[in-house]
Chain A
Amino acid sequence: MSFPSFLSLLAGGFAAGVFGTLLGLGGGLFLVPFLVIVVGVPMHQAVATSIIAVIATSSTGASIYLERGLVNIRLGMLLEVATVIGAIAGGLTASALSGEVLAKLFAAIMLVAAALMIRRLREDRGEEVIPNGAFPAQFTDEATGNVVRYGARRIPATMAISFLAGNVSGLLGIGGGVFKVPAMHLLSGVPLKAATATSNFMIGVTATASAFIYFAHGHLNPVLASCATLGVLGGSFVGTHISRRVHSELLAWVFIVVLLVVSLQMFLR
């Protein structure tokens, strides 16, 4: 691998890590198109690399969010049952699909993700917190200094979406956070910061379920995956530390535009 390729992989991974951790999405939504379109990696290899990167984002992000008390471990663990089953089903199906079909699916998922993000931004004005729901928890919001006490509702529906998130993760090498965060936040009433942190905690476990499938099928290129993962690790570390200062709404709008552009590019390939 040439030095410029090495640097571009590190930079792409870094950007995916920063955005992934800030938004609780894992970073795969950025990394797969980057690897396919910019680096020219075959789709299955890109998905395998992305799944490893999702584990890296999740482990780095979760280690910091856990220490800040933002993760709802019980809610995350319950949803994980549905997500892991979905991921196993997705990972097994992916090997039977062609790279072209996977790319088109990925582009469609990005469109859905953009729509969910727009909805999330609109709904985010004035969070409705349910203090008496299931899995009660609390955290200190560092932006306001307030202690936020909340509970979750509509758990079966959120579990169903978690299954779908796991399935998409296994199929497309993304963390599935693009579904989990809106589901926890919009459907279950979990505050956005807790939903993002809990999603970060979960996505690594989800990704592991399918990572070994891709590993077994020989799609993991060690040089490619190591470069991208090291970039993602650096980006995740930076992402968790700047998350307190960055204006998340502006970031989310940038993210939506990127999603739409990349989705269009993948449809037109």
Chain B
Amino acid sequence: MDREQKYQHLMGRVLRVGVIASSLLMTAGLVIAAVQSSPVPLPERNPSLGELIRQLFSGQLTSMTGAAAPTLMFTGLVLLMFTPFLRVVTTFFVFWKERDGRFMAIATVVFLLLAAQVAYSLSQL
């Protein structure tokens, strides 16, 4: 296996870890929602990242009540939304290891565009 292939394997693994983690969170949320006797109340709006993090560490999850279900699902979905960021960061790392300055710059531009977009969107919450 040459160096390029080695890096492609690394990127593949990074992506897979992100996908598996987010699937487990969504599945856990759906299972909790399914076993509740009454319908799980959905939040009126999508939570901000800060609210999501606070909910994750508020003890809500360990209670395994219906309120934990949307928090777990949102966390899984947001984690999945961040996996392409991981892809861009890993790509930057690959170009850095290959000392390819031109493509390090291109990966940086893509990352900055995405980051600016996400920051703008989250500021609207």
Chain A interface residues (CB < 8 Å from chain B): 1, 6, 52, 55-56, 58-60, 62-64, 66-67, 69, 71, 73-74, 77-78, 80-81, 84-85, 88, 91, 201, 204-205, 207-209, 211-213, 215-223, 225-227, 229-230, 233
Contacts and interface: CB of A to CB of B under 8 A. Distances in A.
Nearest to B85: A208
Interface size range on B against A: 35 or more
A233 B30 CA distance: 15
Given A205-B84, A233-B23, 9 more contacts: A55-B81, A58-B84, A66-B15, A73-B94, A208-B82, A209-B114, A216-B121, A219-B46, A222-B77
Nearest to B5: A69
B64 interface: no
Contacts of A205: 84, 87-88, 110, 114
Chain B residues touching A, majority SS: helix
Contact of B117 (A212, A222, A226, A229): A212
27 contacts: A6-B34, A52-B80, A55-B84, A56-B80, A59-B19, A59-B83, A63-B13, A78-B106, A81-B110, A84-B110, A84-B117, A91-B117, A204-B83, A204-B87, A208-B81, A212-B81, A212-B117, A212-B121, A215-B121, A216-B122, A220-B46, A220-B74, A221-B42, A223-B73, A225-B73, A229-B26, A233-B19
Interface string B100-117: 000100110110011001
Interface in B1-60: 4-5, 8-9, 11-13, 15-16, 18-19, 23, 26-27, 29-30, 33-34, 40, 42, 44-46
